[in-house]
Structure formats: C-alpha cells, structure tokens
Amino acid sequence: MRLFYKPGACSLASHIVLKEVGVTFSVDEVDTQAGRTKFGRDFKQLNPKGYVPALELETGEVITEGASILQYIADKHPENQLAPAAGTIARARMQEHLNYTSSELHKAFGPLFSDNATDAQKVDARENVAQKIDYMATLLKDGQEYLVENKFTVADAYVFVVLNWANFTGIDLNKWPNIAAYVARIAARPSTKEAMLAEGLL
Ligand SMILES: N[C@@H](CCC(=O)N[C@@H](CS)C(=O)NCC(=O)O)C(=O)O
C-alpha cells in the first residue's frame, strides 16, 4: 500500500491510522500544484480530483476521500478496534463525526490557508471555525476523552489533524480546555508521533 500525502494536510489522519494498525506501507509526497509526486508519479492519473489523501492498494486500485480511506483501513484491521461495527449506532455516530469534519470543520479552515483570502475573510473564517469548535467541545463533555464510546476511533485521528491546524492559523485552542486536552492526548499517541515525524513535522 502507498499513501499519497502532503505534510500536515488532512492526509496525516490516514498516515496516523496506518501507523495505528501497524501494516506495511510506503508514502509518496505530492506536489498538488504540479500534479506530480516526489517519486515521479503523475498524480492526476492517480487521483483526478488532484488532492490528498489517496491510498493505492497492491491491486493498483486507488481509494480517495479521507473518510473513506480511514474506514477502509479500520475495517481491514478489526482487531485494532478503530471503528465500531457497521450497522451500529456507534458506527453511525463515528460517520457523523467524519462527515461533519470533512464537510464543515475542514472546509471552514480553507480561507485561513488561502493566499487569496482578504484579512476580513480570514477574520470571518476564524469566527466560523470557533463556532464549530464550540460544537466539538460539547461532544467531549463530562471528561470524555474520545468522540465515540470514549474509545479512540479513526474519527479522532481526522478531528485531531483538523483541530491542530488551529495552532497554525491564529486560533488559541486554550479557549476550549477540553479540546486543547483532546488534541494533546492524540498528539501524544505513538502512532501520531511516528506519522508526524515521518512527515517532517516534529
Ligand atoms: N474531500 C477531500 C478533501 C481533501 C483535501 O481538501 N485535501 C487538501 C489537503 S487537506 C489538498 O490536497 N488540497 C490541495 C492542495 O493543497 O493543493 C477529502 O475529504 O479527502
């Protein structure tokens, strides 16, 4: 298996989860602007959508969309218990968190990483992100450490990566002590440290 990634991007969640399950895999860094990878692949051929993450299987098939990749890895390695069984309410909750993160929280950060956004747009984006973090903070009430059944799932890997962007975009997570503790908790996992080290982030 080969993971196509950009350092610190949402692909880091897939990287963390691959480390969690301990499977053998390789990585290839993508220059999404150029549409090429470090090892000389034409990335547009691998993922016509042009963005990371993409996971290439031994069969040559390529899976895209982080939420799909994360659940594929978890389902292939049920012994690691990184996703509740399909058809359970817990699985639906995990998918709720994955979808919310992908379509709402992740996208809300967009202007903060854009060279084309005005200062006013960035102020609005910070407010928008803060409202979404207000919501995330309500999910971790009463000392709950993880989002679903208080056990680490692939949703936590994705939520961690996106919330951690706050630290690079002028949003102080200490405003939400339970969120700051959650991000620190997942950052401390060996899988997270290994993946971040491999991406040159530590
Ligand atoms: N819907 C996709 C979005 C993926 C996405 O936004 N990827 C970003 C990095 S987090 C990307 O590769 N953007 C293109 C770029 O940075 O040039 C998913 O959830 O996987």
Q: For 2-80+191-198, CATH number?
A: 3.40.30.10
The model's pLDDT over 2-54, given as tens digits with 9 standing for 90+, comes to: 999 999 999 999 999 999 999 999 999 999 999 999 999 999 999 999 999 99
Residue whose CA lies nearest to ligand 1 atom number 20: 65
Average pLDDT over residues 126-137: 98
Find out whether the beta carbon of 100 lies less than 6 Å from any atom of ligand 1: no
Looking from the CA of residue 33, the nearest atom of ligand 1 is: 17
What's this model's pTM, rounded to 2 decimal places?
A: 0.98
Burial state string for 31-69 with b = 16 or more CB within 10 A and e = fewer than 16: ebeeeebeeebebeebbeeebbbbbbeeeeebbbbbbeb
Residue whose CA lies nearest to ligand 1 atom number 6: 51
Q: For 89-189, CATH number?
A: 1.20.1050.10
The model's pLDDT over 44-56, given as tens digits with 9 standing for 90+, comes to: 999 999 999 999 9
Q: Domain residue spans in the chain?
A: 2-80+191-198, 89-189
Mean pLDDT of the chain: 98
Rounded Cα distance between 103 and 195, Å, is 24
The model's pLDDT over 150-199, given as tens digits with 9 standing for 90+, comes to: 999 999 999 999 999 999 999 999 999 999 999 999 999 999 999 999 99
Residue whose CA lies nearest to ligand 1 atom number 17: 32
